[in-house]
Amino acid sequence: MSTVAPRPSSIAPAASLGAFIRGMQEVDVERVAAIERQSFTTPWQASTFRTLLGRTGAVLRVLEVQGDPVAGYALLWCIGDQGELANIAVVDELRDLGLGAFLLDAVMEEARARGVESIYLEVRTSNARARAMYASRGFEEIGRRRDYYEKPREDARVLVRRLEPTR
Ligand SMILES: CC(C)(COP(=O)(O)OP(=O)(O)OC[C@H]1O[C@@H](n2cnc3c(N)ncnc32)[C@H](O)[C@@H]1OP(=O)(O)O)[C@@H](O)C(=O)NCCC(=O)NCCS
């Protein structure tokens, strides 16, 4: 795991950025795809997100902040009591401000409300920032997938977060 630069001493909490989470809509998709291209070497197309809108089990959420209606997004698959976090990203210039964790917390809450008991995900071994975020939210490594990613070829760490039932 590569090292991550120290965090700035004053971190604006999500609340002070006017952050909130809402459902993704058709009008958001082009901007979501632009953040996707900025974030991943094998990005999903806008058409893929469009197809997923309204698909049963696909939870598509957008992070909105003051002055930016699409500052990040997440996609969670829910199947029965299992969830798979397929995608999460925050626009480059707003990273390290707590927004990724804010978005992840919201998605975890939504999963719990839908009866999901375990959320699984894969993350690049070299993605220290994402791995730090998942660790801070209680995700634990349960395995590795060899050569899972391309561009560059790299192993994935498989993580899981067990959720406490709502009641
Ligand atoms: C991964 C990503 C979503 C994180 O979003 P972010 O807004 O930058 O992250 P946050 O500022 O909310 O930080 C989340 C946690 O990560 C850790 N973290 C973040 N930046 C850190 C840094 N520079 N040093 C150490 N820990 C750090 C902290 O534990 C933090 O939790 P805390 O604020 O409760 O302490 C964002 O970096 C991103 O979009 N990356 C590109 C896409 C990507 O890699 N997605 C994940 C695919 S698996």
Q: Which of 91, 165, 97, 88 is nearest to 134 (CA)?
A: 88
Q: Domain containing 114 — which CATH number?
A: 3.40.630.30
The total number of structural domains that make up the chain = 1
Q: pLDDT by residue for the chain (167 residues), tens digit each? A: 445 554 543 455 688 899 999 999 999 999 999 999 999 999 999 999 999 998 999 999 999 999 999 999 999 999 999 999 999 999 999 999 999 999 999 999 999 999 999 999 999 999 999 999 999 999 999 999 999 999 999 999 999 999 987 76
What is the residue with the minimal CA distance to atom 23 of ligand 1? 7
The model's pTM is 0.91
Question: DSSP string covering 123-153, please?
Answer: EETT-HHHHHHHHHTT-EEEEEEEEEETTTT
Q: Which residues line ligand 1 (CB under 6 A)?
A: 4-5, 7, 39, 88-90, 95-101, 123, 127, 129-130, 132-133, 136
Which amino acid, one-letter code, is at 131? R
In a domain, 3, yes or no: no
User: How many CB atoms neighbour CB 137 within 10 A?
Assistant: 16
Q: Distance between CA atoms of 102 and 91, rounded to whole angstroms?
A: 14
Q: Is residue 130 part of a domain?
A: yes
CA of 45 to the centre of ligand 1 (A): 23
Range of the domain at 113: 18-162
Residue 12 lies in a domain: no
- Residue 5 included in any domain: no
Structural domain includes residue 7: no
Q: Which residues pair with 65 in a beta bridge?
A: 68
